[in-house]
Structures are given as C-alpha cells and as structure tokens.
Amino acid sequence: MHAHTDPDDLVPLKVLIAGGFGVGKTTLVSSLSEIPPLLTEQAMTTASIGVDEADMVPTKTTTTVAMDFGRITVDDSLILYLFGTPGQSRFWFMWDELARGSVGAVVLVDLRRIDDCFPAIDFFENRRLPFVVGVNRFPGADDYDIDTVRDALALSSDCPLVWMDARDPHSSRDTLVTLVEHALARTSVVRAG
C-alpha cells in the first residue's frame, strides 16, 4: 500500500479470478498480491485420477480446494481484493458465495483446453456479472487471432478479450484494469438506461 494513502479514501472492489483446472488462477493471484496470498492449495493424490483433467498440466502437483485470496492497491483511491475460485467442477458450489458482492471476474483460458473455460463464462453470463477473458500465454496461445478465439468462445462483442501472462505482474495488472474499466462502463450504461 502507498505510504500516503488514507485508508478511509480507498474504494475496495472484490474481483474473482476464475477458469478451469490448472489455468493459472493461483499464479495470477500470487503474482499480484501485495500481501502474502492466502492459498488453499493441497497436494493432488491418486484420488484425483479420473476426476481432475491433469493430462495437459502434467507438472501440476497441487490444486486449490477452497479459494485463493490476495490484495492489490491499484492507486491512491482503488484497492482490489482478489478471490481465485477453485477450478474443478466438484467445487463449483462455492462460486455463488465467492461471487457475492464482486464487481466482476477475470476468466482465464488455456487455448489447449478451451472447453474448460465454458462453465466460468456461462456462470458470469447467467448472473450478468461483468467479466473479461484472459488468454493465458501457454504454449500455442499466440497461434490464434482475437477473432478466431472470440468466435470459438462465442463471446459477445462487448466482452473484453486479452492475451496475458499470469506469471507477469504487469500483464496481470493490465488485465485487472481492463476488467474494472469494463465493469464501470457497464454500470454507466445501466444507469443511463
């Protein structure tokens, strides 16, 4: 937090980081958080065989079982509380509680496993919660242009789609800024309507 920031002047916003299993949610929260992030990572065991689709992420040895939490002060007036959702379907029951009071979400996508992002996209569309799609730069992500990915995801033209790297704090921060701007623009349209 900035030394000259008065806590009473800060606007706190809750943001969800969602997407499929092993797509980079924990990595994004960890790369941005100015506090030691709260991670609920547990070791994957043989019990996850046939349950978690780990074939495309063979080096993954842990998984989020509740949520990840981090905090980032964007500027003198804005602080974001980051809540990373669990990616496996057996934990989706927690998403409604995590989404309560949030300004919007970042849905991370691994283009090698594009089907894994649809439950998150459907969740936020059905709840009319603003979201942006962040194509995480896994191998092959840059092989596709924005129109091809937008069509494959069946995204509306007003849903922001960005390429980003969850390991890079600057890239992750830019994605969050895109989300906040999108959420503010949607709020302005609703109020004007």
Residue count (the chain): 193
Nearest to 137 by CA among 108, 167, 107, 164: 164
Cβ 37 vs Cβ 54: under 8 Å: no
Tokens found for residue 1? 């937090």
Cβ 27 vs Cβ 172: under 8 Å: no
**Could you state, in order of their start, the residue ranges of all structural domains in the chain?**
11-38+65-191
Please write the tens of the pLDDT for every residue from 14-44.
Answer: 999 999 888 999 999 999 999 988 876 656 5
pTM over 0.85: no
Please write the tens of the pLDDT for every residue from 126-146.
Answer: 999 999 999 999 999 999 999
Q: Is the pLDDT of residue 102 over 80?
A: yes
Q: How confident is the model at residue 190 (pLDDT cuts 50, 70, 90)?
A: low
Please give the class, per CATH, of domain 11-38+65-191: alpha beta
